Structure 1
Amino acid sequence: MNFRGFGAAAAAGVVTLALATSPASAVTEIQWWHAMTGPNNDVVNKLANDFNASQSDYKIVPTYKGSYADTLNAGIAAFRAGHAPGIMQVFEVGTATMMAAKGAIKPVFQLMKEQGEKFDPQSYLPAITGYYSTSKGEMLSFPFNASSMVMWVNLDALKQAGIAEPPKTWPDVFADAKKLHATHPTCGFSSSWVTWGFIEQFSAWHNIPIGTKANGLDGFDTKLTFNNPLEIKLLTNLVELQKDKSYDYSGRTNTGEGRFTSGECPLFMTSSGFYPSVKKNAKFNYTAVPMPYFPEDKDAPQNSIIGGASLWVMAGQSPDQYKGIAKFFAFLSDTDRQVYLHEKSGYLPITKAAYEKTKASGFYEKNPILEVPLKELTNKPPTENSRGLRFGGMVQMRDVWAEEIEAALAGKKSPKDALDAAVSRGNQMLRQFERTVAK
Structure 2
Amino acid sequence: MKTRSRLNRTNLTAALLAAPMLLLAACGKEGASTEKAADAASSKDLVKVVYWHSMGGEMAKTVDKLVSDFNSSHKDIQVEAVYQGSYDESLNKMKASMDSKSGPSMIQVYEIGSRFMIDSKAITPVQKFIDMEKYDVSQLEENIAGYYMVDGKLNSMPFNTSNPILYYNKDMFKAAGLDPEKPPATFEDVAKAAKALTKDGQAGASFAIYGWFMEQLFANQGAELLNNGNGRTSLATESQLNSEAGVKALTWWKELVDSKVALNLGRKTDDTKKAFAAGQIGMMLDSTASLRGIVNSAEGKFKVGTGFLPKPSDAKEGGVIVGGASNYILNNKSEAEQKAAWEFIKYLTAPEQQALWHINTGYFPITKKAYEQPSVKENLAKFPQFQTAIDQLHATKLNKATQGAVMGVFPEARQITENAIEEALNGKKSPKEALDAAQKEITAKIQQYNKTVK
| Of 91-100 and 380-389, the range deviating more from structure 2 | 380-389
Q: Which residue of 2 aligns with 1:437?
A: 453
Alignment of 1:256-405 (within 5 A): 256=271, 258-259=273-274, 260-283=276-299, 284-297=302-315, 299-300=316-317, 302-355=318-371, 364=380, 367-405=383-421
Larger proportion of helix: 2
Q: By how many angstroms is 1:178 displaced? A: 3.4
Q: Which residue of 2 aligns with 1:120?
A: 136
> What is the rounded CA distance, in whole Å, between the counterparts of 1:366 and 1:288 in structure 2?
14
Determine helix, strand or coil for the equivalent of 1:45.
helix
> What is the rounded CA distance, in whole Å, between the counterparts of 2:47 and 2:260 in structure 1?
54
| Of 359-368 and 325-334, the range deviating more from structure 2 | 359-368
**Residues 81, 342 of structure 1: CA spacing in aligned structure 2 closer, same or farther, 3 A cutoff?**
same
Determine helix, strand or coil for the equivalent of 2:445.
helix
> What is the rounded CA distance, in whole Å, between the counterparts of 1:313 and 1:265 in structure 2?
43
**Residues 262, 323 of structure 1: CA spacing in aligned structure 2 closer, same or farther, 3 A cutoff?**
farther
Q: Which of structures 1 and 2 has the bigger CA Rg?
A: 2
Q: Which residue of 2 aligns with 1:22?
A: 40
Q: By how many angstroms is 1:252 displaced? A: 4.3
> What is the rounded CA distance, in whole Å, between the counterparts of 2:268 and 2:154 in structure 1?
27
Q: Which residue of 2 aligns with 1:11?
A: none
**Residues 290, 90 of structure 1: CA spacing in aligned structure 2 closer, same or farther, 3 A cutoff?**
same
Task: State which of 86, 91, 96 in structure 1 corresponds to 2:105.
Answer: 86
Alignment of 1:199-214 (within 5 A): 200-214=215-229
Q: TM-score, length-normalised on structure 2?
A: 0.82
Task: State which of 179, 186, 204 in structure 2 corresponds to 1:169.
Answer: 186
**Residues 20, 409 of structure 1: CA spacing in aligned structure 2 closer, same or farther, 3 A cutoff?**
farther
**Residues 23, 171 of structure 1: CA spacing in aligned structure 2 closer, same or farther, 3 A cutoff?**
same
Aligned AA (1:42): K
1:123–1:351: 8 Å Cα contact kept in structure 2? Answer: yes
**Residues 242, 49 of structure 1: CA spacing in aligned structure 2 closer, same or farther, 3 A cutoff?**
same
> What is the rounded CA distance, in whole Å, between the counterparts of 1:159 and 1:397 in structure 2?
40
2:209–2:418: 8 Å Cα contact kept in structure 1? Answer: no
Determine helix, strand or coil for the equivalent of 1:208.
coil
Q: By how many angstroms is 1:19 displaced? A: 10
2:226–2:236: 8 Å Cα contact kept in structure 1? Answer: no
> What is the rounded CA distance, in whole Å, between the counterparts of 2:70 and 2:357 in structure 1?
14
2:359–2:376: 8 Å Cα contact kept in structure 1? Answer: no
What RMSD, in angstroms, separates the aligned Cα atoms of the two structures? 2.9
Determine helix, strand or coil for the equivalent of 2:352.
helix
> What is the rounded CA distance, in whole Å, between the counterparts of 1:250 and 1:59 in structure 2?
46
Q: Which residue of 2 aligns with 1:8?
A: none
1:121–1:139: 8 Å Cα contact kept in structure 2? Answer: no
| Of 237-246 and 333-342, the range deviating more from structure 2 | 237-246
Q: Which residue of 2 aligns with 1:148?
A: 163
Q: By how many angstroms is 1:400 displaced? A: 0.9
> What is the rounded CA distance, in whole Å, between the counterparts of 2:289 and 2:112 in structure 1?
16
Aligned AA (1:72): L
CA-to-aligned-CA distance 1:371-407 (integer Å, 9 cap, x gap): 3223222215323322222122111111111111111
> What is the rounded CA distance, in whole Å, between the counterparts of 2:59 and 2:142 in structure 1?
24
| Of 398-407 and 311-320, the range deviating more from structure 2 | 311-320
Q: Which residue of 2 aligns with 1:40?
A: 59
> What is the rounded CA distance, in whole Å, between the counterparts of 1:431 and 1:379 in structure 2?
35
1:108–1:140: 8 Å Cα contact kept in structure 2? Answer: yes
> What is the rounded CA distance, in whole Å, between the counterparts of 1:133 and 1:303 in structure 2?
17
2:327–2:345: 8 Å Cα contact kept in structure 1? Answer: no
> What is the rounded CA distance, in whole Å, between the counterparts of 1:263 and 1:95 in structure 2?
38
Counterpart check, 1:225 vs 2:240: yes
Aligned AA (2:75): S
Q: Which residue of 1 aligns with 2:91?
A: 72
Determine helix, strand or coil for the equivalent of 1:385.
helix
Determine helix, strand or coil for the equivalent of 1:378.
helix
Q: By how many angstroms is 1:100 displaced? A: 0.8
> What is the rounded CA distance, in whole Å, between the counterparts of 1:160 and 1:222 in structure 2?
50
> What is the rounded CA distance, in whole Å, between the counterparts of 1:49 and 1:281 in structure 2?
31
Determine helix, strand or coil for the equivalent of 1:256.
helix
1:147–1:273: 8 Å Cα contact kept in structure 2? Answer: yes
Q: Which residue of 2 aligns with 1:6?
A: none
Determine helix, strand or coil for the equivalent of 1:23.
helix
Aligned AA (1:174): A
1:276–1:344: 8 Å Cα contact kept in structure 2? Answer: no
Determine helix, strand or coil for the equivalent of 1:266.
strand
Structure 2, gaps ≥5 residues long: 1-35
> What is the rounded CA distance, in whole Å, between the counterparts of 1:340 and 1:130 in structure 2?
23
| Of 50-59 and 315-324, the range deviating more from structure 2 | 315-324
CA-to-aligned-CA distance 1:124-176 (integer Å, 9 cap, x gap): 1222222112332x211011111111112222333344432332221222233
| Of 48-57 and 421-430, the range deviating more from structure 2 | 48-57
**Residues 414, 293 of structure 1: CA spacing in aligned structure 2 closer, same or farther, 3 A cutoff?**
same
1:109–1:119: 8 Å Cα contact kept in structure 2? Answer: no
Structure 1, gaps ≥5 residues long: 1-17
CA-to-aligned-CA distance 1:179-227 (integer Å, 9 cap, x gap): 4342454x542234622112x1111111122222211111113422232
> What is the rounded CA distance, in whole Å, between the counterparts of 2:270 and 2:53 in structure 1?
18
Q: Identity percentage over the alignment? A: 30
Q: By how many angstroms is 1:23 displaced? A: 3.5
Aligned AA (1:212): N
Determine helix, strand or coil for the equivalent of 1:221.
coil
| Of 398-407 and 327-336, the range deviating more from structure 2 | 327-336
> What is the rounded CA distance, in whole Å, between the counterparts of 1:70 and 1:360 in structure 2?
33
Q: By how many angstroms is 1:357 displaced? A: 5.6
Aligned AA (2:168): V
2:119–2:453: 8 Å Cα contact kept in structure 1? Answer: yes
1:161–1:183: 8 Å Cα contact kept in structure 2? Answer: no
Q: By how many angstroms is 1:343 displaced? A: 3.1
